[in-house]
Amino acid sequence: MEELNSGSDRNNQMELTQQSLIYGLPDDIALLCLARVPRNYHALLKCVSKRWRDLVCSEEWYSYRQRHNLDETWIYALCRDKSEQVCCYVLNPNSSRRCWKLLDGLPSRSFKRKGMGMEVLGKKVYLLGGCGWCEDATDEVYCYDASMNKWTEAASLSTARS
């Protein structure tokens, strides 16, 4: 009977270990530690485990860092390269290198557009509307999620905008 209980105890311990963010620490303490990791290392945190990835991409993470004044302001710029294609760059002003980094993945349909708007809400950057030589004003909206480092198409505008 003892052997059954000890096996059961080991299974329970294994489940607890797999569920905790950092083995041996309560999750609230682990969250406090992880939230202090600078934003430019968040991509590495997401590689540790599925649980860490889910945490770093969550609203809970964003809100926690904001509530404890741990969020970091980065600067986003929308500009054109020499071939007149739209590019989006990001700058971490606290970095010792201070260099602009190109945000890959901007949908190709927006490369040649003019008159697009750009807005930031929380951890997301929105690219709105625009028009081109061969197209009228568009209602398309693209969203860059900083925690996922990914552009996606968002809900369209109710009216096309250029």
Domain edge (last residue) among 67, 95, 121: 67
Range of the domain at 56: 2-67
pLDDT at 7: 55
Sheet arrangement for strand 124-128: 117-121, 124-128, 141-145, 150-153
Q: Is 147 contained in some domain? A: yes
pLDDT at 48: 94
Q: Is 145 contained in some domain? A: yes
pLDDT at 162: 61
**136 and 82 together in one domain:** yes
pLDDT in tens, the chain (162 residues): 445 555 555 554 444 445 789 999 999 999 999 999 998 899 899 999 999 999 999 989 989 999 999 988 888 888 888 888 888 899 988 888 888 998 888 887 777 777 788 888 888 889 887 777 677 777 788 899 888 888 998 888 777 666
pLDDT at 67: 94
Residue 105 — left, alpha, or beta (φ > 0 → left; ψ -120 to 50 → alpha)?
Answer: left
**61 and 89 together in one domain:** no
Q: Is 57 contained in some domain? A: yes
**51 and 94 together in one domain:** no
**81 and 49 together in one domain:** no
Q: How far apart are the first and last CA of the chain?
A: 75
pLDDT at 97: 83
**Residues 59 and 146 sit within 8 Å (Cβ to Cβ):** no
pLDDT at 157: 76
pLDDT at 5: 54
Q: Is 148 contained in some domain? A: yes
pLDDT at 51: 93
**100 and 46 together in one domain:** no
**43 and 85 together in one domain:** no
